[in-house]
Amino acid sequence: MKGFKLHSTIGDLFANMLGGGGSKFSPPVVMGDESIMSPKEHGTSNTPVQQNLRWGCDFETADRICNFNRHYAEFSGYWEARTSFLKDESAASGEIEFFDSNSGKPLFIAPKNRSFEDFVKESKNHGWPSFRDDEVVWDNVRILPNGEAISVDGTHLGHNLPDRKGNRYCINLVSVAGQLSTSK
């Protein structure tokens, strides 16, 4: 299937499901390595999350998930139950930019090559905003061999969980609710 390669053994499949595998994903995925997530001044990042997160995302939840976490997520459905995302955004919004909650760098632009309704439907089905390859800003996003999605600045974003359509990036809204950074 486009977007990922099949596991060579059942053991490799289970290792990846448990977060310990060594899979490589096919282009356009840009692979990263563990050094990106090495300890820094504020967990895995140099700074805490921005104070003014979009869509009413909670600062403490965002900071914990973005900077002091490698495996856990906001609860399933958080993005629709606890934020204003679905009230603030619609098909009329066009392509929505999602920025790193720490650095303010663009990470995803969605929907692309699908409707807003399709983006929301898939995200609701999976419990988290779900992005596809065309919607990733690869200059600022990396995928680790175990499928963890991270920013180049060390922000934990979520995971790549491929399905029959290809790569599917299940991303914590609190991780991509930042404001655009104006600093160079």
Q: Judging by beta carbons within 10 Å of its beta carbon (0-12, 13-18, 19+), is residue 11 exposed, middle or buried?
A: exposed
Cα–Cα distance, 101 to 64 (Å, whole number): 12
Per-residue pLDDT of the chain (184 residues; tens, 9 = 90+): 344 344 434 434 444 444 445 578 889 999 999 999 999 999 999 999 999 999 999 999 999 999 999 888 999 999 999 999 999 999 999 999 999 999 999 999 999 999 999 999 999 999 999 999 999 999 999 999 999 999 999 999 999 999 999 999 999 999 999 999 887 5
Cα–Cα distance, 131 to 135 (Å, whole number): 6
pLDDT, one tens digit per residue, over 42-71 is 999 999 999 999 999 999 999 999 999 988
The pTM (predicted TM-score) of the whole model is: 0.87
What is the DSSP-derived secondary structure letter of residue 151?
A: E
Longest dimension (CA), the chain: 47
Cα–Cα distance, 160 to 6 (Å, whole number): 14
In one-letter notation, the amino acid at residue 129 is P
pLDDT, residue 5, reads: 40
Q: Judging by beta carbons within 10 Å of its beta carbon (0-12, 13-18, 19+), is residue 50 exposed, middle or buried?
A: buried
DSSP per residue, 27-62: TT--B--GGGGS-BTBBTBSSPPPSS-GGG--HHHH
